Amino acid sequence: MRKFTGLILLVIALIPTRTGVSAPETMDAPPEPASGAVVCLPGVYDLPPDNCVPLGPSQELTRRAGQGIPYPILPLPAYAPDPALVDIPYRYLKLVPEDKVLYFFDSLSGAMDNSISGVSAGPGFVYVSYVERVEVDGSAYYHLRSGDWVRPDFTARVAMHMPFQGLLFSSTPATSFGWVLAEVPSYTRPGYGARPTGSTYHRYVVVRSTPSSRRTTTPG
């Protein structure tokens, strides 16, 4: 009986108890995968990469790509025409004021005479093209392309600005576009309460719109 009782006590002593200080955990946490170590460089990722996380800028660029907004923005398939195409070998005079009459003479001496001729234009909206300007005694006389001469009376030279050429396209553009007609500031978003970006778009600058929203890049 004593042997049996001693055996029971021995078994009870060997049973582990939860009292006292527990043993420290020795199991290591699973290692962090390589894909969680770094954020991917900005870009569009059709499939999740194995060596980085496509968050932040990449996530936004990928979202926009799904909307049809490429990165980087593809340039227009266009180029500027030859500047020589806008060289105009003509100069113009206009009748000022329009209620007067412009007389034509067949020679410079005839134009210098303080007289009138049987050929005239006006009153009204009158423009003539000249090829030569001759000054005599402080007065300017104009030799027209027609061969006639006119006095400077009631005439004003027309300033010829560089004509707008536009663009030549090699194919149909993927996005709509346009040109700025007057100087306009840029804003961070559409709306009168938007914050300005500090940039200004000038006349004839090309602006683009996105395929999804069709909004130009000059909000406001």
Q: What is the pLDDT of residue 1?
A: 52
Domains along the chain with CATH numbers: 36-66 (no CATH), 73-87+161-220 (no CATH), 89-158 (2.30.30)
Q: What is the pLDDT of residues 119-128, one digit of tens each?
A: 888 788 888 8
Q: What is the pLDDT of residues 9-43, one digit of tens each?
A: 444 444 444 444 443 443 343 455 554 568 888 88
> Which residues does 104 contact at the CB level (< 8 Å), separation at least 6?
117, 119, 120, 121, 144, 146, 148, 149, 150
In this prediction, residue 169 has a pLDDT band, given cuts at 50, 70 and 90, of very high
Indicate the DSSP class of residue 84.
G
Question: Token digits for 197?
Answer: 């970006």
Q: Which of 114-118, 150-154, 178-182, 185-189 has the lowest mean pLDDT?
A: 114-118
Question: Token digits for 163?
Answer: 């004509």
